[in-house]
Amino acid sequence: MSSVLVVGSVAYDSIETPQANVEEALGGSATFFAAAASYFVPVNLVAVVGDDFRHNEIAFLNQRQVDLEGLRTEPGKTFRWKGRYLQNMNDRETIYTHLNVFATFNPLLPDKYRNSSFVFLANISPELQYNVVQQVYRPKFVAMDTMNFWISGSMDALLRTLAVVDGLLINDSEVKQLSGEENLFTGARKIQAMGPKTLIIKKGEHGALMVHGDEHFYCPAFPVTSLLDPTGAGDTFAGGFMGYLARTDLITMENLRRAVVFGSALASFCVEDFSVGRLMNLSREEIHNRVLVLRKMTDFAIDPDWALVT
Amino acid sequence: MSSVLVVGSVAYDSIETPQANVEEALGGSATFFAAAASYFVPVNLVAVVGDDFRHNEIAFLNQRQVDLEGLRTEPGKTFRWKGRYLQNMNDRETIYTHLNVFATFNPLLPDKYRNSSFVFLANISPELQYNVVQQVYRPKFVAMDTMNFWISGSMDALLRTLAVVDGLLINDSEVKQLSGEENLFTGARKIQAMGPKTLIIKKGEHGALMVHGDEHFYCPAFPVTSLLDPTGAGDTFAGGFMGYLARTDLITMENLRRAVVFGSALASFCVEDFSVGRLMNLSREEIHNRVLVLRKMTDFAIDPDWALVT
């Protein structure tokens, strides 16, 4: 069984939703990713926190085989973000972003992480993402996240990083922005030409579309009826996806399909509570049951009569 | 093989898209529906046109076993609509709507249509939809469309009609408006309680979600790379769905799943050209090939190792 390396943020999130609020809850891309991936493989985490960080809050990650040697503590305060979700729970506004010690984050991999086969570069600057890739000896599958901020402001660096990764997790509006194409499928082709052969286009409540080579796979969102807080769903998806890939150590379309489904299943738990509340103690059976629901949700049999008439 | 009855509009559409424009092209909900359903069963069409209508333009429907006895010609002009699609091809603005003879449309079924087993009430006023249902002797499956205009302005009539139909085709924002629920799945439950046991929630480029009883089925949109004009896609979907149901005459979840896929396949042809350009002469093999693509797009195999670990 391989392990997976994640480089990203550990943060305190304050969140307002129409139903409830939470102050300074554990968050950050690396946190959500690690919590999800830990159901599949050992995880190595690289991030930075301030000297105000309450380390006991991530003790559960240690118990879940997440190695925290790469979590550095720097003088100053931990990254803080506050956001508010509107009534529809899709649109949100940022109330503040205090990067704090994250502003000077310069990820250095502990030596023992440099043999990682599976690497996830969460949403940090493309320069830092590139530097991380250079520190890994012979990765089998490197995936990255990005955002509109880097697409509009750091395109050169982003293109350099895209050229050295295998997978890109991106949302549908970012596909249009990065490719300059309104059509998602045409846009995906253009982005593949920039480097990543595997694109996972996240559509939130509408599910996720994977484009791998010239094949497509679509996985719907699990029908969540108790949506509380979407924060972290994308990184949780990435954790389920990369964790499953690393566990099975097999980069085929068939296995990538399953990985997307596990990503979708894990993300569906994430949004049912604030922070990592639902990700701390899932049973494998709970996860498997959601995979089965997703299987059934898209299953249909070809009509043999129609198929015969040509 | 059953037939299917559609009551709706036949119109002239003028359309502007970022790529091309078209003036006074054949359109209308009943036209798109009938063209799609005609690949599966004989169709009976009830609509009204003005004395300016160029009947030769729908001659192809006659050849495709669409009975036009229910198409009345009234003194005056045919329904005309003009719209403009924005760059993203999802948002559109209406430039004008001239109801003309459609303003006084009062659908009266020819006697021979009153035995119809499968009935589709396209987007007309819920009062008229209700009157149509009253004219059919013993329908097996009645489905309807509606829109925000009727939800906000004719709720009482709409509730009376919903109570007598089996299926509702609706988009996701209309689910929220009609149910008063932000959550799509909770909203669908509430709408089922109003009457229709089968909801098909159309999400455009994100596919379609069917809720039937307490089961869900999700079908993605076919990956169209040459989107020209989305007008009529919803009615084309309905035509494929109802046409397949009528052909197979079987209201089971298993068969409804296939019907949704055929709806999705037909809709994918519709948007590749203006008007009914792509719906006039499809081969069954072309349709079948898109069904196969949709099958493959969502297919995945459960990981037996993970399934065993509980």
Q: Which residues, 6 or more positions from B239, have their beta carbon under 8 angstroms from its beta carbon?
A: B6, B32, B33, B34, B35, B36, B37, B38, B120, B263, B266
Predicted confidence at residue B264, as pLDDT, reads 98
Inspect the interface and report whether the beta carbons of A310 and B302 lie closer than 8 Å: no
**Looking at the predicted structure, is the pLDDT value of residue A308 above 80?**
no
The overall average pLDDT reported for chain A is: 96
**Looking at the predicted structure, is the pLDDT value of residue A47 above 70?**
yes
Helix, strand or coil, per DSSP, at residue A43:
strand
Give the pLDDT mean for A30-37. 98
**Looking at the predicted structure, is the pLDDT value of residue A160 above 80?**
yes
Secondary structure in 3-state letters for B6-21:
EECCCEEEEEECCCCE
**Residues of A with CB below 8 A from B310's CB?**
283-285, 288
Inspect the interface and report whether the beta carbons of A298 and B219 lie closer than 8 Å: yes
Inspect the interface and report whether the beta carbons of B300 and A183 lie closer than 8 Å: no
**Residues of B with CB below 8 A from A261's CB?**
300
Backbone angles phi and psi of A302, in degrees to 5: -60, 140
A153-171 per-residue burial string, b: 16 or more CB within 10 A, e: under 16: ebeebbebbbeebbbbbbb
A1 touches chain B (CB under 8 A): no
Inspect the interface and report whether the beta carbons of B216 and A206 lie closer than 8 Å: no
Q: pLDDT over 90 for what percent of chain B?
A: 94
CA nearest to A172 within chain B: B206
**Looking at the predicted structure, is the pLDDT value of residue B131 above 50?**
yes
**Looking at the predicted structure, is the pLDDT value of residue B310 above 60?**
no
Give the pLDDT mean for A186-210. 96
pLDDT band of B309, cuts 50, 70, 90: low
Which of A:45-84 have CB within 8 Å of B? none
Question: What DSSP character marks residue B283?
Answer: -
Helix, strand or coil, per DSSP, at residue A63:
helix
CA nearest to B187 within chain A: A225
Predicted confidence at residue B87, as pLDDT, reads 87
Which of A:273-302 have CB within 8 Å of B? 283-285, 288, 291-292, 295-302
The Cα of A185 is separated from the nearest Cα of chain B by a number of Å equal to 6
Give the pLDDT mean for A77-95. 93
The overall average pLDDT reported for chain B is: 96
> Per-residue pLDDT tens for B72-128?
999 999 999 999 999 888 889 999 999 999 999 999 999 999 999 999 999 999 999
Interface test with B, best of A294, A306, A308, A310 (most B CBs within 10 A): A306
B92 touches chain A (CB under 8 A): no
- Spatial contact of B269 and B247, defined as CB atoms under 8 Å apart: no
Neighbours of A271 (CB within 10 A): 23
**Residues of B with CB below 8 A from A301's CB?**
254, 257-258
A254 touches chain B (CB under 8 A): yes
Which of B:181-200 have CB within 8 Å of A? 182-186
Predicted confidence at residue B15, as pLDDT, reads 97
The closest CB to that of A300, out of B205, B258, B303, belongs to B258
- CATH fold for the domain made of A4-298: UDP-N-acetylmuramoyl-L-alanine:D-glutamate ligase (3.40.1190)
- Spatial contact of A161 and A129, defined as CB atoms under 8 Å apart: yes
Domain ranges of chain A: 4-298
> Per-residue pLDDT tens for B24-44?
999 999 999 999 999 999 999
Backbone angles phi and psi of A66, in degrees to 5: -95, 120
Give the pLDDT mean for B147-173. 97
A258 touches chain B (CB under 8 A): yes
A308 touches chain B (CB under 8 A): no
Predicted confidence at residue A99, as pLDDT, reads 96
DSSP3 helix / strand / coil % (chain A, rounded to 5): 40, 25, 35
Class of domain B4-299: alpha beta
CA nearest to B39 within chain A: A306
Predicted confidence at residue B140, as pLDDT, reads 97
The closest CB to that of B309, out of A89, A217, A284, belongs to A284
Across the A:B interface, residue pairs with CB atoms under 8 Å apart total 112
Predicted confidence at residue A310, as pLDDT, reads 47
Give the pLDDT mean for B64-70. 96
B214 touches chain A (CB under 8 A): no
Give the pLDDT mean for A41-61. 96
pLDDT band of A90, cuts 50, 70, 90: confident
pLDDT band of B305, cuts 50, 70, 90: confident
The closest CB to that of B217, out of A257, A284, A297, belongs to A297
> Per-residue pLDDT tens for A93-128?
999 999 999 999 999 999 999 999 999 999 999 999
CA nearest to B297 within chain A: A217
Beta bridge partners of B6: B45, B120
The closest CB to that of A302, out of B183, B219, B295, belongs to B295
Exposed, middle or buried, B285 (CB in 10 Å: 0-12/13-18/19+)?
A: exposed
The Cα of A255 is separated from the nearest Cα of chain B by a number of Å equal to 8
Q: What CA–CA distance (Å, rounded) separates A175 from A190?
A: 9
Inspect the interface and report whether the beta carbons of A217 and B300 lie closer than 8 Å: yes
The closest CB to that of A297, out of B183, B218, B284, belongs to B218
